[in-house]
Each structure stands twice: as C-alpha cells, then as structure tokens.
Amino acid sequence: MAAHKRTIIDPLSDNNPITIQVLGICSALAVTVQVQTAFVMACALTVVLTCSNLLISLMRNHIPSRIRMIVEVSVIATLVVIVDQVLRAYFFELSRQLSIFVGLIITNCIVMGRAEAFAIQNRPGASILDGIGNGLGYSFILLLVASFREIIGSGSWYGWNLFPEGYVGSGLALLAPGAFLILGIIIWVQRTVTQNFKDD
C-alpha cells in the first residue's frame, strides 16, 4: 500500500516529470499562454498517459523486447489520434486552439518515458497509478506556468479579468522567452526544496 502511495505521490513533487526529470518541456512552453488551453492539454496528456501505461503493462509479458519501443509508440500514437479526433468532434474551439499540440503528445517524452521506465515491468494496477501520478505532476506544473503567464501577460486567469481596465499585459510573459524564465524559476525552486534528487 505504501508503495502504491509513493507511486502516485512521488511524481507530484519529489520526482516531478517536468521539474526534476525535465521531460515534456516542449508542450510546457507551448500551451501555457492561457490556463484554459493548458488545462485541456493537461487532461489530454493524463488520459493518454494512464491508458498507455495500462495497455503497455497488460502486454508487458508478450511484447518481444526487440520491437518494444515501436510497439509503445504505436499504442501511444493510436491513443493520441483518438483523443485528437474526439476533441475535434466535441470540443471544436479548444481543439482549434491546441492545434498541433495534441498530436505532439505522441512525442512527449513523459508518455514514452513512463512506458519504458515503469509500465513495461509493473502490474497494470500500479501502472495506472503511475500514469495518473505523472499526469497530475505534469498538469500541476503546466497550470502553474500558465497561471503566471496569463496573469502577468494578459491580466486574467482562465479568461476572467483580474485587474481593472487599462492593465497593460507584459508581452514577454506571453512569448517563449517568458515561458523559459518562469519554467526555469519553478525548476530552481523545486530543486532547492527537493534536495536529494538524482542528477545523472
């Protein structure tokens, strides 16, 4: 039980996929201009990650090790395309805002990383927890970065205006350099708090 708890709690902070392992940076920079798009992206990734972990784990004793990675990619890609198609059919506006980034979940290192590092050698139950944990860890950082960027850059949060009329947003926070700065600071804080992480 304690092991299960660690599986789901660790990725939230002490072994966070973004701030400790520095994976999934591309999307953490690209879709964090607004909290809303970051939220949808976070949900999409968590769903894909959990499902892919489950499927890979179910097949773990049958996958020939030589084609292990290509099988993982196939499973992940299939899941991502399904999510993308569903978004297009049911959440048209959001899918238009996210454009290619949903498709790019396929190349998100977190998904492939968890399949390789965890799902391929663990039971389905634990793999689901690992998927949810890492998905939440990713989501947490994504929303944090997006909150900073939207509040500083647009003066709003999830589309709600926070400041009186006349607030001039900082363009820097909306562009890529602002995202790098904010993410860098978050990683610095995280690594200062989490003293004993493994740095290869």
Partner 1 sequence: MQPADRQLVTFALIICVTCSVLLSGVAAGLRDRQERQVELDRKRNVLIAFGVDVHDEAGRRISAEQVEDIFGANVGQFVIDAATGEELAEAAVDPNAIRVKRQLRLFYWMEDGERQRFSFPISGAGLWGEIRGFISLENDLMTIAGITFNEHSETPGLGGEIERSWFQEQFQGKRLMADGEPKPLTAVRSGADDDDPHAIDGISGATITSESVARLITEDFKRYNVFFKRLRDG
Nearer to partner 1, 92 or 197 (CB): 92
Any idea what the Cα angle at residue 198 is, between residues 196 and 200, rounded to 5°? Answer: 145
Which segment (11-19, 87-95, 104-112, 192-200) binds partner 1 by CB under 8 A? 87-95
Q: Does 85 bind partner 1 (CB under 8 A)?
A: yes
22, 26, 58, 99: which one contacts partner 1 (CB under 8 A)? 99
d(CA 23, CA 138): 9
d(CA 7, CA 17): 13
Q: Does 177 bind partner 1 (CB under 8 A)?
A: no
112 neighbors 76 (Cβ within 8 angstroms): yes
Which segment (29-37, 41-49, 137-145, 184-192) binds partner 1 by CB under 8 A? 29-37
9, 12, 43, 81: which one contacts partner 1 (CB under 8 A)? 81
d(CA 59, CA 57): 5
Q: Does 153 bind partner 1 (CB under 8 A)?
A: yes
Q: Does 198 bind partner 1 (CB under 8 A)?
A: no
Q: Does 169 bind partner 1 (CB under 8 A)?
A: yes
d(CA 118, CA 120): 6
d(CA 182, CA 18): 13
Site for partner 1 in 58-77 (CB under 8 A): 62-64, 66-67, 70-71, 74-75, 77
Note the Cα 129 to chain centre separation in Å: 15
Q: Does 167 bind partner 1 (CB under 8 A)?
A: no
Min dist CB 97 to partner 1, Å, is 8
In sign, the C-alpha dihedral spanning 32, 41, 128, 117 is negative
d(CA 183, CA 163): 24
Contact residues for partner 1 (CB under 8 A)?
A: 33-34, 37, 62-64, 66-67, 70-71, 74-75, 77-78, 81-82, 85-86, 88-90, 92, 96-97, 99, 150, 153-154, 169, 171, 174-175
